[in-house]
A = this chain, B = another copy of it.
Amino acid sequence: MNRADETTRPGDGDPAVPPDAALLPVTVDVVALTVRDDALQVLLVERGVDPFRGALALPGGFVLPGEGLTAAATRELAEEAGVAPPGHLEQLGTYGPLGRDPRGPVLSVAHLLLAPDFGVVRPGSDAGAVAWHPATEVLDGATLAFDHARILADGVERARSKLEYSPLATAFCGPEFTVAELRRVYEAVWGVRLDPRNFSRKATGTPGLLEETGRTTSGGAGRPAALYRAAAGGSAGRRDTGVEDGPAVVRAVIDPPLLRPRA
């Protein structure tokens, strides 16, 4: 862009955006992941309008004037899924604007939500059914609207990778959880089995990851388990400190990292 082209509108104190700049509609799409029935599941909506009417899609929609990216993402989740979910929301990446929407050039800022299994979910105003779907099934048999299959694949890979070095696995759990619950999160997201003894050693031995509550489970089968909560500041990135919209900055806590078993 030739910045010499930038002009000042008469009667306007601020310089104006150059007239040859593209003005693009922007959507936010959310890859909302949870762990349900020991499987990684993704929240999908059935589109109620064209294009791709009737197809499955990620929840999302257009950014409105005066709105920030994170605000748009949470608003769309509320509108389409009827939830103001807890958990960790971070920016995933930006797609487009060319060749991904039949309506023309549209920029899409994808987000990633890692959340505990929040109960479903009322159908949104302009969408059909809203439901959790096992991520592996969708990734394999994927026929999602737009380029949502690719966005979902990127989101799942991001989640898998972040579990290795960040405390974000705790975002899938409730406020208090056992080491075994945390392990089942890893097992579901990675699709592997982990040794409970070694996992417990690593989880409890990592400073800044878990905080003891002093309480234990009761009522279930087997020996009661100690209850923990996520350590303070554990999953706190820059997003929790301000209103700015930008990519995720999450502190690395698991050091050395807990690597996925390699085939």
Contact = CB atoms under 8 A, between A and B. Distances in A.
A221 interface: no
Chain A, interface size category, equals: 35 or more
A1 B79 contact: yes
B51 A6 contact: yes
Interface stretch (A91-99, A176-184, A226-234): A91-99
A256 B261 CA distance: 11
Contacts of A257: 257
Contact of A4 (B48, B97, B151, B255): B48
A50 interface: yes
A202 interface: no
A67 B22 contact: yes
Given A6-B50, A49-B6, A1 B102 contact: yes
Contacts of A61: 1-3
Given A5-B53, A51-B16, A102-B6, A154 B21 contact: no
B2 A126 contact: yes
B106 A94 contact: no
Interface in A93-130: 93-107, 109-110, 125-127
A102 B2 contact: yes
17 contacts: A1-B27, A1-B61, A3-B127, A6-B103, A8-B50, A13-B104, A16-B50, A20-B64, A21-B62, A21-B64, A22-B64, A24-B63, A26-B26, A26-B107, A91-B93, A93-B94, A93-B248
